[in-house]
């Protein structure tokens, strides 16, 4: 049986960076029109929700320069086929990116980068660093060791983003909720 | 969170065209070509044997059997040809049973046993159409093959009838002749199909089919067949050889004396006819016994074939309908 | 669009004197990948058999694809089923299986099927029985998807597969669910007794336990409406602010799985964490009396109703 030449043998819809997806497409090349510069990966054991991992990977790629303005994100179907995750998860991640203003979807074509990450200005970075060192001093004085500081910070960070995206989906105001201190 | 939108599909209206019946032809062929091949091989091998020996017998009849009572004819037809036909007809009795058991029983039993019915019965054609198409197609094919084969067998037997060494009505060949053979094969197939659906395992279904068929065939041969039409009664001694004597007995003085078989007649013959050279009936009639017989005249052969074929066909249709009904109704 | 691919009302199935499924009421919305989860013997296969028309209900009723009777020609046309152990005819080649499936259905995308098998490296002229387990499963899945169904039903599809085969199989299923471009794809209902990887794959969860539906709802709603509270074991029994599903306790510390959202206040001295799907499912399986079922307007975005104890 003659099969379309574009379909590689033995690959299950894998979309290596720079090549077209599992559909009939052109031969692998650097930046083919249907290609995306990045490829997602999944850390199942990290505890971070899948869609957030995708969001972070896009932001990270933007920061490091793998993604530039106008680049296309991988097609939903290709991400699903290579990571074996639910399509809604990818849609959720892409929607989050769109809400953040980083991407824009073009109907029938895909999702494209439309802004770079806002760089935080240097003075702000310095101020943030100083306040962080202050907090670390307080924590150390309270008896927290390094792992304890990391655990507290990670948990608070997670809650912060969850609450922010949660309040967004519910369309309600972010609640300034108090959390019990351990 | 967005759920995926449904694809824009052509509207499925309630009046869906069903999958055409003719599609089942390839499906049936591909899935059962081994069974069909087995049937073809079995009948084919027998046909070759019948053809070769039949040519010989026909030739011998043409040369040596005018008159039929000639010595050469007698030697052949009561000797080696008789042996041949005995072997053949015994084997042929089993053929419908084998076809029914090995083509009919595994049809549904294998699907149920291996679990492939979970694939077959969830396809678009639907389970009862699938079953009905397969059953009807295979039933017609095996019945036609059996019918064609039995025409050859009748040709093979013709010299025996012509020379008077066998009668069409003989129990041992009646059900191997044209209409009856095809009908018995059909019935065996239908029994097998139903057994397969009820028992759901191949080997037990095959065993059950063989048993049920044997029981039915025996019951018909021993009890049922003689009553298709009311047997005629006679006491004339010179019945034509083509008649099928169903039962015979002797009376004396208007009252029943003894049946024509058994220890009583043996005693009577020893008493009266030990030195006589007449036939038993002629001798005993000289001593006041009257011979009686119930018989079916030879002219009734074809009506009987059609009657037997008819009720077997009705039974087969009933069994197949029951199988399809079970498939339609019963849960997995 | 808001069609329910499987809708059951008081559905029950009895084998002899044992009820394999009882009082099952659920409505699985279209456009989702729904996972039917539960221990062995919970009734998953029974429920799926009822939905695809391989079994008749003993009580209640079930409809598919927005009101069709299971086993009706329209339902058979729109639903593709891959049973446990992916039965294929072992002495038929892959090409024969394609031909067979094409003959038995109204719609069959031969080109897609051939291309897919070539992509997977499954030779068309090898007997299906000689293929590896993963290849047989992929063959069965290819046949199902080539029928272009609206609903794909899979009964424990990956139970016998090695990890790579499992990943590839699920990737195929999910790609089919994603569809092409803007349009959605196939709705999927799959059963599994393996809980890991569930969260990645499913966006609708049905938990069956002892023949009854214990949990049913969108995964996001379920996760958003449960929290894990960690605090002093001594106060665990006194907690009554929100319904408690499951308690795990040590000497000094206890974990409470409660029906609460991120907006609900946390008692002083307690910490609240989100719960993962596996942890949630295990907790419910350990508490047969607890249930989390959608309220009225099933199948849409609703807040799960109260815990019924």
Q: What is the pLDDT of residue C183?
A: 55
Which residues are CB-contacts of C245 (< 8 A; sequence separation ≥ 6)? Answer: C226, C257, C258, C259, C283, C284, C287, C290, C292, C307
Q: Per the omega criterion (within 30 degrees of 0), is the bond before A162 cis?
A: no
Report which DSSP code applies to C237.
G
Within its chain, how far is the Cα of A35 from the centroid?
Answer: 18
Q: Of A168, A101, A78, which Cα lies nearest the Cα of B1?
A: A168
Which chains have 3+ CB pairs within 8 A of B? A, C
Q: With CB atoms and an 8 Å threshold, state whether C178 touches A76.
A: yes
Q: What is the pLDDT of residue C82?
A: 94
How buried is B204 (Cβ within 10 angstroms: 0-12 exposed, 13-18 middle, 19+ buried)?
middle
Nearest chain C residue to B110, by CA: C89
More confident: C216 or B242:
C216
The ipTM (two decimal places) reads: 0.88
Q: What is the DSSP string of A77-140?
A: HHHHHHH---HHHHHHHHHHHHHTTSEEEETTTEEEE--PPPPPPHHHHHHHHHHHHHHHHHHH
Q: How many residues does chain A have?
A: 182
Nearest to C52 among B18, B122, B126 (CB): B122
More confident: B277 or A53:
A53
- Model confidence at B73: pLDDT above 80: no
Q: With CB atoms and an 8 Å threshold, state whether B17 touches C31.
A: no
pLDDT > 90 fraction of chain C, expressed in percent and rounded: 47
Segment C273-296 shows an average pLDDT of 84
Residues 180-239 of C with CB under 8 A from B: 182-185, 187, 203, 218, 220
Q: With CB atoms and an 8 Å threshold, state whether C183 touches B8.
A: yes
Q: With CB atoms and an 8 Å threshold, state whether C118 touches A13.
A: no
Going by pLDDT thresholds of 50, 70 and 90, the confidence category of residue A133 is: very high
- Model confidence at B278: pLDDT above 60: yes
Secondary structure of B203-243 in HEC code, one letter for each residue: HHHHHHHHHHHHHHHHHHHHHHHHHCCCCEEECCCCCCCCC
CA distances from C110 to A77, B316, C101, C266 (A): 21, 38, 10, 58
Q: Does residue C292 contact residue C217 with C-beta atoms inside 8 Å? A: yes
Longest dimension (CA), chain B: 112
Going by pLDDT thresholds of 50, 70 and 90, the confidence category of residue C96 is: very high
Q: With CB atoms and an 8 Å threshold, state whether A178 touches C175.
A: no
Q: Does residue C106 contact residue B17 with C-beta atoms inside 8 Å? A: yes
Size of interface B-C (CB pairs under 8 A): 119
Per-residue b/e over C74-100, b at no fewer than 16 CB within 10 Å?
A: bbbbbbbbbbbbbbbbeebbbbbbbbb
Backbone angles phi, psi at C248, to 5 degrees: -125, 130
Give the span between the Cα atoms of B178 and B150, in whole angstroms.
5
pLDDT > 90 fraction of chain A, expressed in percent and rounded: 25
- Model confidence at A26: pLDDT above 70: no
Q: Does residue A105 contact residue A90 with C-beta atoms inside 8 Å? A: no
pLDDT tens digits, residue range C113-155?
999 999 999 999 999 889 988 899 999 999 999 999 999 999 9
Q: How many CB atoms lie within 10 A of CB B125?
A: 24
More confident: A158 or A79:
A79
pLDDT tens digits, residue range A80-102?
999 999 999 999 999 999 998 88
Nearest to C266 among A11, A50, A179 (CB): A179
Q: With CB atoms and an 8 Å threshold, state whether A86 touches C201.
A: yes
Quote the pTM value.
0.80
- Model confidence at C35: pLDDT above 90: yes
Q: Hey, which residues does C29 pair with through a beta bridge? A: C4
Q: Hey, which residues does B232 pair with through a beta bridge? A: B295
Within its chain, how far is the Cα of B262 from the centroid?
Answer: 30
Nearest chain B residue to A76, by CA: B4
Going by pLDDT thresholds of 50, 70 and 90, the confidence category of residue C303 is: very low
Question: For the ranges A60-64, C71-75, C143-147, which has the lowest average pLDDT?
Answer: A60-64
Q: Does residue B119 contact residue B67 with C-beta atoms inside 8 Å? A: no
Q: With CB atoms and an 8 Å threshold, state whether A177 touches C263.
A: yes
Site from C169, C178, C275 to mutate, A interface, most A CB atoms within 10 angstroms: C178
Give the span between the Cα atoms of C101 and C248, in whole angstroms.
51
Q: What is the pLDDT of residue A168?
A: 64
Nearest to A1 among C118, C202, C261 (CB): C118
Segment C63-85 shows an average pLDDT of 92
More confident: C299 or C50:
C50
Mark out the alpha helices in chain C (DSSP H runs).
44-52, 73-78, 94-104, 110-120, 133-146, 163-178, 198-201, 219-224, 277-286
Considering chain B, what is the average pLDDT of its residues? 84
Q: Of C184, C182, C217, C185, which Cα lies nearest the Cα of C203?
A: C217
- Model confidence at A123: pLDDT above 80: no
The CA distance from C35 to the nearest CA of chain A, in Å, is 11
Which two tokens mark C96?
A: 């024969």
Report which DSSP code applies to C234.
G
Going by pLDDT thresholds of 50, 70 and 90, the confidence category of residue C181 is: low
Nearest to C203 among A42, A82, A86 (CB): A86
Q: With CB atoms and an 8 Å threshold, state whether C106 touches B124.
A: yes
Give the span between the Cα atoms of C41 and B11, in whole angstroms.
38
pLDDT tens digits, residue range B78-126?
777 777 878 888 888 899 999 999 999 999 999 999 999 999 999 999 8
Q: What is the pLDDT of residue B210?
A: 95
């Amino acid at each position: 049986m003659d099969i379309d030449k574009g379909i590689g043998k033995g690959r299950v819809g894998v979309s290596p960076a720079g090549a077209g997806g599992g559909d009939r497409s052109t031969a692998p090349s650097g930046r083919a029109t249907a290609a995306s510069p990045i490829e997602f990966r999944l850390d199942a054991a990290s505890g971070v929700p899948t869609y957030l991992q995708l969001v972070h990977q896009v932001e990270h790629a933007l920061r490091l320069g793998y993604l530039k303005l106008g680049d296309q994100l991988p097609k939903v179907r290709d991400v699903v086929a290579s990571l074996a995750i639910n399509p809604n998860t990818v849609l959720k991640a892409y929607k989050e990116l769109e809400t953040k203003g980083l991407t824009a979807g073009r109907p029938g074509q895909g999702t494209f980068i439309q802004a770079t990450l806002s760089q935080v200005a240097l003075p702000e970075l310095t101020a943030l660093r100083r306040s962080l060192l202050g907090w670390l001093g307080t924590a150390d004085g309270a008896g927290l060791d390094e792992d304890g500081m990391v655990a507290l910070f990670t948990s608070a960070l997670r809650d912060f983003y969850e609450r922010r995206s949660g309040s967004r989906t519910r369309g309600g105001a972010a609640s300034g909720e108090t959390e019990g201190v351990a | 969170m967005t759920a995926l939108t449904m694809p824009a599909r052509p509207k499925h209206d309630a009046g869906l065209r069903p999958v055409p019946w003719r599609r089942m032809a390839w499906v049936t062929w591909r899935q059962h070509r081994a069974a069909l091949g087995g049937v073809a091989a079995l009948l084919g091998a027998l046909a070759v044997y019948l053809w070769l020996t039949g040519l010989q017998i026909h030739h011998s009849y043409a040369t040596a059997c005018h008159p039929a009572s000639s010595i050469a004819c007698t030697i052949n037809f009561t000797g080696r040809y008789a042996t041949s036909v005995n072997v053949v007809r015994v084997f042929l009795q089993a053929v419908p049973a084998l076809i029914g058991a090995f083509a009919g029983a595994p049809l549904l039993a294998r699907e149920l046993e291996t679990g492939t019915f979970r694939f077959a019965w969830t396809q678009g054609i639907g389970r009862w159409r699938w079953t009905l198409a397969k059953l009807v197609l295979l039933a017609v094919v095996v019945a036609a093959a059996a019918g064609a084969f039995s025409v050859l067998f009748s040709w093979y037997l013709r010299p025996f009838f012509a020379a008077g060494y066998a009668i069409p009505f003989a129990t041992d060949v009646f059900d191997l002749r044209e209409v009856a053979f095809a009908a018995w094969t059909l019935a065996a197939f239908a029994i097998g199909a139903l057994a397969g659906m009820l028992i759901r395992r191949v080997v037990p279904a095959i065993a059950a089919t063989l048993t049920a068929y044997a029981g039915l065939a025996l019951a018909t041969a021993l009890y049922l067949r003689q009553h298709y039409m009311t047997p005629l009664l006679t006491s004339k001694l010179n019945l034509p050889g083509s008649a099928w004597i169903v039962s015979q007995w002797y009376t004396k003085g208007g009252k029943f004396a003894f049946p024509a078989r058994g220890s009583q007649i043996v005693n009577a013959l020893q008493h009266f006819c030990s030195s006589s050279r007449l036939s038993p009936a002629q001798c005993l009639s000289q001593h006041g016994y009257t011979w009686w017989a119930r018989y079916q005249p030879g002219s009734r052969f074809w009506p009987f074939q059609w009657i037997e074929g008819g009720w077997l066909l009705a039974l087969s249709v009933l069994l197949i309908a029951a199988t399809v009904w079970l498939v339609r109704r019963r849960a997995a | 669009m808001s069609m329910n691919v499987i809708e059951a009302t008081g559905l029950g199935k009895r084998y002899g004197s044992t009820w394999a499924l009882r009082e099952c009421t659920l409505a699985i919305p279209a456009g989702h990948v729904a996972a039917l989860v539960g221990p062995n013997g919970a009734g998953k296969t029974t429920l799926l058999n009822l939905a695809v028309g391989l079994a008749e209900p003993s009580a209640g009723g079930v409809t598919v694809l927005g009101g069709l009777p299971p086993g009706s020609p329209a339902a058979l046309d729109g639903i593709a089923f891959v049973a446990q152990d992916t039965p294929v005819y072992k002495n038929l080649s892959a090409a024969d299986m394609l031909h067979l499936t094409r003959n038995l259905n109204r719609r069959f995308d031969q080109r897609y099927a051939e291309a897919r098998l070539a992509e997977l490296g499954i030779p068309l002229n090898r007997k299906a029985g000689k293929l590896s387990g993963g290849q047989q499963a992929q063959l069965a899945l290819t046949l199902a998807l080539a029928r272009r169904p609206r609903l794909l039903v899979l009964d424990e599809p990956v139970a016998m597969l090695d990890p790579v085969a499992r990943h590839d199989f699920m990737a195929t299923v999910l790609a089919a669910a994603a569809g092409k471009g803007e349009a959605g794809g196939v709705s999927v209902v799959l059963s599994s007794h393996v809980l890991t990887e569930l969260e990645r794959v499913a966006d609708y969860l049905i938990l069956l336990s002892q023949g009854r539906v214990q949990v049913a709802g969108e995964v996001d709603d379920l996760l958003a409406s449960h929290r894990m509270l960690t605090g002093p074991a001594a106060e665990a029994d006194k907690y009554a602010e929100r319904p408690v599903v499951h308690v795990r306790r040590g000497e000094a510390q206890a974990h409470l799985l409660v029906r609460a959202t991120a907006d609900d206040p946390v008692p002083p001295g307690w910490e609240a964490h989100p719960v993962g799907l596996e942890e949630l499912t295990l907790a419910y399986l350990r508490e047969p009396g607890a249930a989390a079922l959608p309220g009225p307007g099933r199948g849409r975005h609703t807040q799960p109703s109260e815990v019924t104890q």
